[in-house]
Amino acid sequence: MADIKIMDGIVVVTLSGELDNHEANRIRSTISSSIYTGQVRAIIWNLERLGFMDSAGIGLILGRMRDLVPYNGETVILNPSATMEKIFNFSGLGSMIKHCTVETALGEIGGVLHEK
């Protein structure tokens, strides 16, 4: 399951439970149009409550990271499990991992969390 908030050019995706191909496609379609119109400058992936992620999840995160490159966008991966952190490290995404709250990550990027 995913909770997606877009505010001030920052997408915060909070994932819980399992991230499989079906959910990855839903998330991709939700945020891609905002990226392609230049409305997004960063994506924060909060994985604190994510129990399982298959290769579609890695592809989702890696693909959105690549989509942000033309816009000088930033990708942050928050609080993955130890197993997921190893997978991200093997995938070359280890430098994007932070162990902090969403609010702290937003502050480092220069955003503020506004509830809708």
Q: Cβ contacts of residue 27 below 8 Å, gap of 6+?
A: 2, 4, 13, 60
Is 42 a domain residue? yes
**How confident is the model over 7-21, as pLDDT tens digits?**
889 999 999 999 999
Is 76 a domain residue? yes
User: Is residue 97 over pLDDT 90?
Assistant: yes
At 61 the three-state DSSP class reads helix
Is 103 a domain residue? yes
Neighbour tally for 20: CB within 10 Å: 14
**How confident is the model over 57-89, as pLDDT tens digits?**
999 999 999 999 999 999 999 999 999 999 999
What's the domain range around 32? 2-108
Is 114 a domain residue? no
**How confident is the model over 20-53, as pLDDT tens digits?**
999 999 999 999 989 999 899 999 999 999 999 9
Strand partners, 14: 3, 46
Is 6 a domain residue? yes
Neighbour tally for 94: CB within 10 Å: 14
What does each C-alpha distance from 38 to 34, 62, 71 come to in angstroms? 7, 18, 7
> Tell me, what CATH number does 42's domain have?
3.30.750.24
User: Is residue 116 over pLDDT 80?
Assistant: no
Q: Are 11 and 5 in contact (CB under 8 A)?
A: yes
Neighbour tally for 70: CB within 10 Å: 10
Is 116 a domain residue? no
Is 115 a domain residue? no
Domains in the chain: how many in total?
1
pTM of structure? 0.90
DSSP classification of residue 41: S
Is 99 a domain residue? yes
